A and B are shown apart, each in its own frame.
Chain A
Amino acid sequence: MRSSALANSRVGARSERPRTALALLLAAATLAVSVAALPGLPQLSQTVSLVPADDPDVQLDREITAQFGMQNPVVWIIEARHGTVWTPAMLKRIQALTREVFTVPGVIADDVVGLASPNLRDLRVTEDALEPVYLMAQAPETAEAVDTLRHRVENDPNYRGTLVSEDGRAAMVVANFRDDVDATIVAGAALALRDRYRDADTAVYAVGAPVLGTLAARGVPPLAATAALVLAVGFIVLSVTAGIRLALAAALAAVLATWWTAAVEVALGAAVLPWTVYALLPTALMAAAVTTTTIGSWRTQLPLAVALAMGFVALAAVAGAPAAAFGVAGAVGSVAAVLAGRAARILTACETESRALPHRSWARRGAPLLAALALLGTPRLRTSFGMFGYGARYLPPQAVADVRALARHFPPPTALAIRFRGEPGFVESPEVLKAFDGLAQAVRNDPAVVRVLSLADLVKMVNRAFNENRDEFLVLPEERDLIARYLALAYSPGFRRFVDRAFTQSAMWVYLSSEQPGDLDRVRTALRAQLAAHPVPAATVDFIGGDGAVVLVTARLARALAVGAAALLLLGASGIAVLCGASAGVRALAGGLAATAVATGVLVCCAAPVDLVSLPCLIAAAVAGMAFGALTESPQLCLALAAMAVLLVAASVVSGTQLGAVFGALLAGPAVAGLTTTTRGATPHES
């Protein structure tokens, strides 16, 4: 007995030694990649790029916005809780708030727009006098004066629905801010203003990048708490069903794999946010799968990682920048997942053996059924690439109410912008303005177009004003000199949206009620055809900018990503078939497809559209599904993921934001895929 105990102790000591060595090696490697990544961390925030920054349309949009638009706007919505804003008290409140907007640090006074802004002017014309007046110099104090103002605003297509909502319930004040001012200061002042003007009669909301950034930051602690809760639930489920040692191993593998991948990407300067982060999600799932599977050894799991990495490289090649960073990080992550999974098993002294689930038949039958049902919902999946939608979908609940108030009262249009460049004063030519007008007419009747504005419209309005507001003068003058004088005499801050002061550049804005790429593309095609048929004389045309152009770029990127994902699936599955055997390849493909179907189904159920957040998560789900299909004989892990997915979807429903739904889809897909392709079931054995 004694000798046997001694022998056991020696064996134990011998088996401890490699683990200690491995732990030291892993610690050293982790430390090394972390240290290598440190210099790259400060630059990480500068890599944020959802769409290709060097795309000509994106660059043009940036230039046009800087020149003629608002780069950093904040919007306040003043909503009457009862009735409309057309009362003396509400108008007085709007005026007071507007005046305070001018005191917010960093505000660009010329770019404050609202009913009571001094930047909004009318030209009051009589036989002998031409009197510029503010749209609302003072808040009207009588019902009659209110009616006059209301009539003025509601009968002007430029004001109706923009300054005051179509139903009259809300008014809007927009202000542009310098981009060199601390966003937190702007946000603090903007939110303080919002809160100060809120009371029993008035609801006030604030929306805009600085404000939403601050509100999003405030939403981080509850978000982190939710994430911690979800992870804890997953860990508990896995611990209960498969043992705590395996749960620890899975968690360690996931952490190590994501850490290594992120560090390597940062160290290599290949990280691009948020694309690199997207790749960390399947990396973590794959690492957990490697840890818990009973299938294969180093010799089969590494080829599988290589096959998936090849698929990711294909995705990177097809999708192009910046989404290529997703593919590159995914390739690194695939290898890191296998290494971390294997290492975690050794470190935690886990060994797996097949063990069926208590209700295995239920799981095996239910999962494919679920996948099939989800597949049926796939056609209902919609797309949404407008930037405004991201805020409404993914911001924390603290901000969503404000964003939704804006969407409710002033649905933001999608803009297409065209810039014209010529010799100084070229916009004073009647022919040039007629060409602008013709271009506007070409799309004005499109069902998606709500408004088209160019310098030609301003000149027409000034011509009418200078001619006693007679409608027959709402036309372009034929004389160049007269146009030049109108532009000089009637120049006001609002002209900046349409012409630079050297009169060498001009912008035309086409506003659409739709953000659908099909609508945008149709209008863009019509504009291009008109420009080809009737070129603007002596002008270079920069076609096309505006957030609509960015939506089209986004849609193009999404299409490329989808094609890249298909390539990833096929190449990955083929690679697995070649390297690991045909059945593994088939299981991987089935797992990938099942995961995609289920994830899509979750998105459809939660009314979450495809965008550049959900689409990479769908792809991540598909990749994890492939890994689960090929590897996982651990229905316990699938159950844990399913539990986490359910929690996330529930949190999404409760909070009203769709971030939980998207991550729920990401977890549900591989979970169901794993259950669908499970043949035996596995659980660890402690060594």
Chain B
Amino acid sequence: MGNSMRYLLASLLFFAIVTAGPATGAELGDGDVLGPSNWEGAKGLLPDEILEHYRTGDYVNQIVDLSRHDYMSVQLPADFQEASRANRGRYALSPAGSIIDARTGKQPPFTFGLPFPEIDPQDPGAGIKIVWNYFYTDYYNGNDHFLTELVMLGRRGVERRLATDVRMLMYDGCAEAKDLPNPQNLLLQQLARVVSPADLAGTTSLTWRFRDPDKHDSLWSYVPGLRRARQVSALNRSDGFLGSDISLDDGSFFDGKPEDFTFRLLEQRDQLMLLDPFSLRGEADIVSVPGGGWRIVWKDVPRIGADDPDWHGLPWAPVSAVLVRRPFWIVEAVPRDPNYLFGRLILRFDAETFLGSFVSKYDRANSLLMSYQASQGAYYTRDEGRTYLPAGGIAVRTSENLLYKRATVVLFPPRKQENPADYRVPLSPDQFNMDALIRLGK
């Protein structure tokens, strides 16, 4: 009887050993390369549509453990953190979801730092507060001037490529905007000029975005062939921009007007996010811009699969990025506009920095339609902490159309010092009016 019991226990133990194991596959560690052989280890850490790319080998990226001492911190800059702490209890939400002063009930004229530094997951307004925090983290970077590439890709490679020179003047959220006169209650002004291809060159657009929750963007466009500037309106901000998969509401991660959506915090959980390894390793190449500001000189490395002739995965795979495990807020956004293409969006924000990683966009029939993927980096200072900027060697923002199996990637070309990739540049409102639009377009 005793022996039988021992055999039974031994059998049970053996069975337990054989069948036990991590429910989500092997634990992923620093230096592991996530791909077809170990994708199961990332179950629950990535959106399903992204994990599928690793399963099939269409994406392959190294995993990095940020706790290693030789990496840069991805925490928010010190001045921003300080301002965020000072904002505790200062702001509240209006019924429409706008930021209001908690004491006066009015929209504050200027906000700096996280407006809602403490997020209570039980708070019904937690979702939109996280979104506002994301926006003010983004606004912190201030005025900028970038040469951007809009690369439209199919499974066989690049289909179309547009290069645009973009300047943006901030009226809120950054140090240089604090004392800027703002009689029209603007949030930002943006001037974008198509540089290439040659037949589109000179097509220029001017955007004014307002802080007023009820006021939508004003857009003007100048077409050289017609020699006339006209006000144009964005009918549907979920439309693809110039036939691409990027919509006006994508921006650097999410650019919808918060008041146009209802938000709901779904959960907090660990997720993997794409980061710039050059940024983490402290290898950002930053030079000062004559007249003010700082310029990032991008690395001469493949940014997406299409840059690498030896790459066999998806042409829009972020081949040089690394994956980092971080705590995340997962927020659902439901548009109020019945004509908005998507029925809901799942936004994923870093729970400490509020930077975004992946957006899953579902149509109104609740089928996954698009995936937006953004890589992030660490903050750098070159003036001993007076100003900080997010810098690194690569930056990739990808909008993948899962229905048509194609994507559009925003890249920052092409690794020359004379190409603008500038933060904190001094810009003035005179550069963002109708005259400037026509002047730049000619």
Partner of B232, one of A118, A129, A425, A483: A129
Q: Which residues of B contact A109 (CB under 8 A)?
A: 341, 363-364, 369
How many residues in B have their beta carbons less than 8 Å from beta carbons of A? Answer: 37
Binding site of B, secondary structure by majority: helix, strand, loop or mixed? loop
Q: How far is the CA of A425 from the CA of B161 in the complex (A)?
A: 11
Docked complex: A121-138 residues within 8 A CB-CB of B: 121, 128-134, 137
Number of interface residues of A (CB under 8 A): 45
Tell me if A631 is interfacial: C-beta within 8 Å of chain B: no
What is the CA–CA distance of A131 and B366 in the complex, to the nearest angstrom? 30
Output the residue of A107, A110, A500, A503 with the most chain B CB within 10 A. A110
Which residues in chain A, 424-481, are within 8 Å of chain B measured between CB atoms?
A: 424-425, 428, 466-467, 477, 479-481
Q: Chain B 250-289, CB within 8 Å of chain A: the 1/0 string?
A: 0000000000000000000000000000000000000000
* Choice from B160, B239, B243, B367 contacting A106 with Cβ under 8 Å: B367
Kindly provide the distance from the CB of B138 to the nearest chain A CB, expressed in whole angstroms: 27
Q: In the docked arrangement, what's the CA distance between A504 and B156, Å?
A: 14
Choose among A130, A467, A480, A489 the residue that contacts B231 (Cβ–Cβ < 8 A).
A130
Q: Check A129–B230 contact: CB distance below 8 A.
A: yes
A501 touches B225 (CB 8 A): no
Interface centre among B242, B244, B366 (most CB of A within 10 A): B242
Question: Is residue B199 contacting chain A, with contact meaning CB distance below 8 A?
Answer: yes
Interchain CB contact under 8 A, A102 and B364: yes
Contact B197 A425 (CB under 8 A): yes
Question: A108, B403: Cβ atoms under 8 Å?
Answer: yes
Q: Does B414 contact A (CB under 8 A)?
A: no
Partner of B203, one of A132, A485, A495: A485
- Closest A residue to B152 using CB positions: A501
Check B17 for interface membership: any CB of A closer than 8 A: no
Q: Which residues of A contact B160 (CB under 8 A)?
A: 424, 501-503
B16: interface (CB < 8 Å): no
Q: Is A105 an interface residue (CB 8 A)?
A: yes
- Tell whether, in the assembled complex, residue B225 and residue A99 are in contact, meaning their CB atoms are under 8 Å apart: no
Report yes or no: A502 in contact with B225, Cβ–Cβ below 8 A: no
Please state if A106 and B365 are interface contacts (CB–CB under 8 Å).
Answer: yes
Q: What residue of chain B has the Cβ atom nearest to residue A502's Cβ?
A: B159
Establish whether residues A481 and B365, one from each chain, have CB atoms under 8 Å apart when the complex forms.
Answer: no
Contact pick for B225, options A132, A425, A485, CB 8 Å:
A485
| Chain B residues whose C-beta falls within 8 Å of the C-beta of A128 in the assembled complex | 230-231
Of all chain A residues, the one with the shortest Cβ separation from B232 is: A130
Contact status A105-B365, CB under 8 Å = yes
For B369, list chain A residues within 8 Å (CB): 109
Residues of B within 8 A of A121 (CB): 235
Q: Assess whether B363 is in contact with A502, with CB atoms less than 8 Å apart.
A: no
In the assembled complex, A650 has its CB within 8 A of some CB on chain B: no
- In contact, B200 and A485 (Cβ under 8 angstroms): yes
**Nearest chain B CB to A465's CB is how many angstroms away?**
11
> How many Å lie between the Cα of A121 and that of B232 in the bound state?
14
CA–CA, A121 and B366, complex, Å: 25
Candidates A103, A137, A484; contact of B365 at CB < 8 Å = A103
Interface membership of B226, Cβ < 8 A: yes
Q: How far is the CA of A427 from the CA of B365 in the complex (A)?
A: 35
Contact assessment for B199 and A480 in the assembled complex, using a CB-CB cutoff below 8 Å: yes
Residues of A near B244 (CB, < 8 A) are 501
Please provide the chain A residues from 501 to 527 with a CB less than 8 Å away from any CB of chain B in the complex.
501-504
A488 contacts chain B at the CB level, 8 A cutoff: yes
Q: Are the C-beta atoms of A107 and B339 separated by less than 8 Å?
A: no
B185 at the interface (CB under 8 A from A): no
Q: Are B154 and A502 in contact (CB under 8 A)?
A: yes
A503 to B225, CA, bound (A): 20
Query: What's the minimum C-beta distance from B224 to chain A, rounded to whole angstroms?
Result: 7
Chain A residue with the shortest CB-CB distance to B230 = A130
Across the interface, do A131 and B363 meet the contact criterion of CB distance under 8 Å?
A: no
Known: A178-B403, A466-B223, A501-B160. A131 touches B233 (CB 8 A): yes
A residues in contact (CB < 8 Å) with B: 99, 102-110, 118, 121, 128-134, 137, 178, 424-425, 428, 466-467, 477, 479-485, 488-489, 491-493, 495, 500-504
In the A-B complex, the 8 residue pairs with the smallest Cβ-Cβ separation, listed nearest first, are A502-B159, A482-B225, A484-B199, A118-B339, A102-B364, A129-B231, A491-B243, A132-B235
Q: Which residue numbers of B lie inside 8 Å of A, CB to CB?
A: 152, 154, 159-160, 194, 197-200, 203, 221, 223-226, 230-233, 235-236, 239-240, 242-244, 338-339, 341, 343, 363-367, 369, 403
Q: Can you report 14 A-B residue pairs in the complex whose CB atoms are below 8 A from each other?
A: A102-B364, A108-B403, A110-B341, A131-B235, A132-B232, A133-B235, A480-B199, A481-B199, A485-B203, A485-B224, A488-B242, A489-B242, A501-B152, A501-B243
